[in-house]
Chain A
């Protein structure tokens, strides 16, 4: 009987041992190399697998790619999109687009956790969407969609006992995604309470991290979407061979004019037909953002996590604050005063801590063909952004001096009315 049992179960047991050994092993298995084509594909793929992973990002970022943190705007690929311009005019940087619809500060903080080596003393671009700063902050389901156990495990193996990581742990515990692994959740409870992890937890996290790292290496490159790369290539063909800002600005205006026209908002026809036409007909969107506010939000503290992470790694960051299509904003009744106040509040949070590279475009909402739809830049907007991004990334910059403050994790800051800013500053 024993012989027969061995014949039946031997291969099974052997397979189980081999799989576990390969996955749990801290050694990499020669999958380190990633081809340039694959890097180019991944950099514009906006694929959630790439965002959640490590391997591909790490390889590309140490190969001349610069992280562009943001969200849905990256998918608006027209000839003036940063990825297209960088490729066409052979810049010595290439954007690695990180983020897609639904990614906000908290997701980006965890994305940074396993590319720390590639951020330390390097440059980055960060696109801040005012729309993130709604009352509820990041949506739990969206956060869950982009949640990566690998990034969390990695963070937990190097977290620090300070207000920053305690806030991150508490915030993560509010997300259903954190409960996907009971051991990780228990570890988060200790971090939030300012305690050290137990030896067992450390061992578990190390093993889990190894397994997830191996999985990422084996599988994250499979089925990498390539449509965006072909879109970038197609758009690049529409550009003149020589770069000239004024010529490109004119071209942007022409392209914008061609692509819009069936609606009074200068929104691209494609976007309008696809997402808005029906609702505009019923009139349900008129004035629907009258009471919307971006002034009180937990997002302000989540955003602080990103700032603190940049400060820890001495990353030189260029922040982009986009406008909102003014025709659209007037139609939906979104308050212009509120937008101005948002601008003040975010400026305060950035500048009071030494983050002074800010491309503030918030007053450009009425520039024709600056926006491709309601809230996303296109044509001339992308070009205006590029005008600041290019020199920032290609010229030597003065070493930034950050002096961050934990006060931005307080509820008081999240809820602060921007009109109280000067009073707030005097009291602190």
Chain B
């Protein structure tokens, strides 16, 4: 049977075009057929998780049922009760499958877990967020069908962007007026084409053509100080370019497809390479993930620390939370030394950045601020980020420890 990587080849896009055409016509005439949307979603899910990948399909179905029971059960419970420990238990249960999937390779010599499937992380983010907003009381009318549509929205199922339940629901329950929809359509098509440029031309060049050569050269040039060599530095920039164009390209496909379906899925990237500091970088890079971490880990932890008065100074609270937050992100990428170091690196970078900004604010008169310093800040941030991606890439693991 036919199976596809999402957005992997021309046939996938051709099928997408054919499947979305009736939907487009419907939306142009102010109609949204839930039934047709569901059928299209199922069709593409089967294409992604069927055929030779059927075990993933089974894992997905079991996982979804499990999360539905948890979120629905909690929503019913939350109508009349609000116990803290029960809430924590439910969150732990909700992230348990993801934890197993992430830890398995580290303890089983790189074997991947049986319960894993493409996109398990992103579904977990959506489920946990639904649960947390239910606790906050901001999400009052939990509906199983909407939750299913939200979780299984096929354009974003494999790698995000991570939408929010209430935002998705508002779009899903309404039909944009014709003018607005035409605007979305225009944007959607443009996103798809910029995505083609990013993913199939630029990421292909950097990732498939250039990177293996640089990796080979870097492996051959070992022996210097920490085995660092010019090819390794080339690899660092090449890997960073590949990572950006590949992921930004994919995100453009996901957002573009959503727009064509009349759903304004949030953007994932916003010119990250022009960030003047690391904090701004995280507002522009993989935005839906970093905002998810900000809203559901960072803010919660800060409130919790303040409520229990763990630290005297608010800056200490912020700093400790930055490190914890980024460490969790590191662990989420996978339990390897380089992902965790990457998380720690960014945590420390955020702390240093905050300290510097505070210092700068205090000494505004004596520290110059002009075009040159701005360009320098952008240059420094970009290089720092590229260096962190060098850690993230795992090539250091090969260079240092591969015989």
Contact = CB atoms under 8 A, between A and B. Distances in A.
Interface of A: 1, 4-5, 7-9, 12, 223
A1 B209 contact: no
Contact of A1 (B178, B186, B189, B193): B178
Interface of B: 28, 178, 182, 185-186, 189, 193, 209
Contacts of A5: 182
A8 B186 contact: yes
B189 A12 contact: yes
Contacts, number: 15
A228 to B, nearest CB: 14
A285 B28 CA distance: 70
B209 A8 contact: no
Contacts of A12: 189, 193
A9 B182 contact: no
Contacts of A223: 209
B178 A8 contact: no
A9 B189 contact: yes
Contacts of A1: 28, 178, 182
Contacts of A7: 186
A223 B210 CA distance: 10
B182 A4 contact: yes
Contacts of B189: 8-9, 12
B383 to A, nearest CB: 28
Which of B178, B182, B209 has the most chain A CB atoms inside 10 A of its CB? B182
9 contacts: A1-B28, A1-B178, A4-B186, A5-B182, A8-B186, A8-B189, A9-B189, A12-B193, A223-B209
Nearest to A182: B2
A21 to B, nearest CB: 16
B4 to A, nearest CB: 14
Contacts of B28: 1
Nearest to A8: B186
A128 to B, nearest CB: 32
A223 B193 CA distance: 24
Contacts of B178: 1
A4 B189 CA distance: 13
Contacts of A8: 182, 185-186, 189
Nearest to A7: B186
A9 B182 CA distance: 11
A127 B386 CA distance: 48
Contacts of B185: 8
A7 B185 CA distance: 11
A205 to B, nearest CB: 18
B298 to A, nearest CB: 40
A173 to B, nearest CB: 18
A12 B186 CA distance: 11
A219 to B, nearest CB: 11
Contacts of B182: 1, 4-5, 8
Contacts of B193: 12
Nearest to A19: B10
A18 to B, nearest CB: 14
Nearest to B189: A8
Nearest to B190: A8
A89 to B, nearest CB: 32
A8 B186 CA distance: 6
A4 B193 CA distance: 18
Q: Nearest 4 CB-CB pairs, A to B?
A: A8-B186, A4-B182, A223-B209, A8-B189
A200 to B, nearest CB: 20
Contacts of A9: 189
A8 B182 CA distance: 9
Nearest to B2: A182
Nearest to B182: A4
A8 B256 CA distance: 13
A223 B182 CA distance: 41
